[in-house]
Structure formats: C-alpha cells, structure tokens
Amino acid sequence: MALFFSSTQSIPATAEVPRHIAVIMDGNGRWAKKRFLPRVAGHKRGVEVVRDIVKQCASIGVEYLTLFAFSSENWRRPQEEVSFLMGLFMEALQQEVSKLHKNNIRLVMIGDHSRFDESLREQIARAEALTRDNTGLTLTIAANYGGRWDILQAVNRLQAEHPELAGNYNEEHLAPYLSMHYAPEPDLFIRTGGEQRISNFLLWQLAYSELYFTDTLWPDFDSAAFELSIASYRQRERRFGRTSEQLQQ
C-alpha cells in the first residue's frame, strides 16, 4: 500500500527534530542590492547557503528538506534573470549531484518541468536516477512549482485514472497524485527575507505546518539562523485541532 500522510485524517507524532522542513529561500536580490551587486550575485551566494543547510539538516536528522527554488510565477521576472537562474540550476546540478550521492542524499525535483530546456530536463532525470535509492536525507527542489498547479495536476490525473470515483474523491485518493506523495507534510515552514506569505508554495501540505518567518536574507541564513528556527519550532505546541489540556493529559 502507498504511504498516506495526512494531518487532517490522523494526528502525526511530533518529534524534537522536525521530520520535514520546507523553505522559501527569499531575499537574494535584496542581499545583492545592499552590496551594490547585480541581483544574480545574490542567487549565486544563495546556492552556497543551500549546501550548508543541506549538510546541517542531514547532521541533525531531518528526513526531508524541501526548497523552493523557482515558482510558477517567477517567469514574470526579467528574461535575463530567468536565464541566469536556469543556468545556475544546470550548473548546481552538474557540480553537486555526485557530492549529494556520496552523502547518501536522495534528490527529487518537483514542479512542471515541461517548460525547461531539454538539456536541463535530462540533467534532472539523471540526478534523480543516480540518487534514487539513497537512504539518507531526501532533498526536494521545487522548480517551476506552484501549489495550485500541484493540486490541479493531481485532481486531473486522479480523474483520468479513476473516473468511477468522481464525485466521491477523498484525501486518500488524491494523496498519491500530489507531487510530494512520498513525504510527510512539513513540520516546519521557514521563509527568509522578511515577507510573511506562502507565495503559492505547498498549499495543500502546509495545512498544519509550523510557520517561521525571519527577516534574515537567504544569503545570510547561516547555521546560527537555522538553529533559531529549530529552537522556535521546539517551543510550539502542535495541537492539530485539540485543546491544550488534551495534550497535557
């Protein structure tokens, strides 16, 4: 049977270390602007921070780390920034995948990749295939991802494969078609860069995630900043609809 994780259908166990952390890595452009550098310099620095956070998550026992790298709305940016970002994905994949593999990390890319160049799609497929059986941290990169796109593609595929269930779809039916079907819902959501919004990230899966917003810009998000987010998470009382008294019992 396929795994079925749902915070609305059953109450997940809460652990000291979040099993799944989802991050909106925001603030690269502002980081660069503050230094009178082009925006893309912020993106470059951002990749280095990804490397450090992946390492840190693996070392404290996080099982799933999901990073928002490019939203379905980021195509609205200037053409040259979009091209630079595509180049950066390509480069990062080429340079990092063997290291990820050596560290037993499984890489999964989610999002609508149909708009990417053939060469980038091939690179993604190769990286996923190489690391598929790794048993350490699962690193998910969301690229050309949108929460609404995800829910709609899931409903459409479910409907195509199970027309007989139409009108009676439930969460368990939908779950296997969602992009992150292989992972529990995020325990902790982090957004750097000061904005307090979801920006069409994991709309379905964030139902009961603990939200953490920090003004720290992504290129400045170092291990101390990461530890603060974990400390904040540890102080939360995750009630999932119950009362505090019920939890004390």
Query: C-alpha angle 54/232/201, rounded to 5°?
Result: 55
Which residue, 26 or 185, is less far from Mg ion as judged by CB? 26
The binding track of 176-205 with respect to ligand IPE, each residue x by CB under 6 A or -, is: -----------------x-x-x-x------
Which residue, 67 or 230, is less far from Mg ion as judged by CB? 67
Q: How far is the CB of 26 from Mg ion (least distance, A)?
A: 4
Tokens (6 digits) for 168? 């009676």
The residue count for the chain: 249
Going by DSSP bridges, is the β-strand pair 20-24/188-191 parallel, antiparallel, or unpaired?
Answer: parallel
- Annotated binding-site residues for Mg(2+) read 26, 210
Q: Binding to Mg ion by residue 32, rule CB under 5 A?
A: no
Q: Binding to ligand IPE by residue 28, rule CB under 6 A?
A: yes
Hey, which bits of 58-207 come out as E strands?
A: 64-71, 106-110, 138-145, 188-191
Among 27, 111, 147, 186, binds ligand IPE (CB under 6 A): 27
- The sign one gets for the Cα dihedral 58, 227, 222, 219 is positive
Distance CA 175, CA 116 (A): 26
DSSP state of 74: G
Catalytic-residue membership of 74: yes
Query: Which residue in the list 26, 144, 150, 187 is annotated as catalytic?
Result: 26
Which residue, 32 or 175, is less far from ligand IPE as judged by CB? 32
Distance CA 74, CA 71 (A): 5
- Annotated binding-site residues for substrate read 27-31, 39, 43, 71-73, 75, 77, 191, 197-199
The binding track of 73-92 with respect to ligand IPE, each residue x by CB under 6 A or -, is: -x----------x-------
